[in-house]
């Protein structure tokens, strides 16, 4: 399972990098709705993964 988590962390890391680069393309103001949806989805996935990892560390 640790391998799966590591791959998932790596994938999230890559997606965060892509997302931040995309956000940096826009000046302050309103971001396009699809970009906002991507930010929310990625935030939820990251929170879920952090909770999963934290619960596994607690059980160890």
Contact 42, 12 (CB under 8 A): yes
Q: What is the total residue count of the chain? A: 60
- For residue 60, what pLDDT is reported? 59
State how far the alpha carbon of 55 is from the alpha carbons of 24, 46, 58, in Å: 34, 14, 5
pLDDT at 51: 82
Q: What is the pLDDT of residue 3?
A: 55
Residue 41 confidence (pLDDT): 86
Residue 28 structural domain:
2-59
pLDDT of residue 1: 45
User: What is the DSSP code (8-state) at residue 26?
Assistant: S
Alpha carbon of residue 11 to chain centroid:
8
Query: What's the confidence (pLDDT) of residue 42?
Result: 84
Alpha-carbon span 36 to 23, nearest angstrom: 9
Average pLDDT across each block of 10 residues of the chain; the chain has 60 residues. List them in order: 63 82 75 83 83 73
Q: What is the pTM of this model?
A: 0.59
Number of domains in the chain: 1
């Amino acid at each position: 399972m640790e391998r799966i988590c590591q791959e998932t962390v790596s994938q999230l890391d890559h997606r965060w990098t892509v997302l931040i680069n995309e956000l940096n393309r826009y000046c302050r103001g309103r971001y396009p709705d699809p970009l906002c949806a991507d930010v929310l989805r990625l935030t939820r996935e990251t929170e879920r993964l952090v909770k999963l990892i934290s619960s596994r560390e607690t059980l160890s």
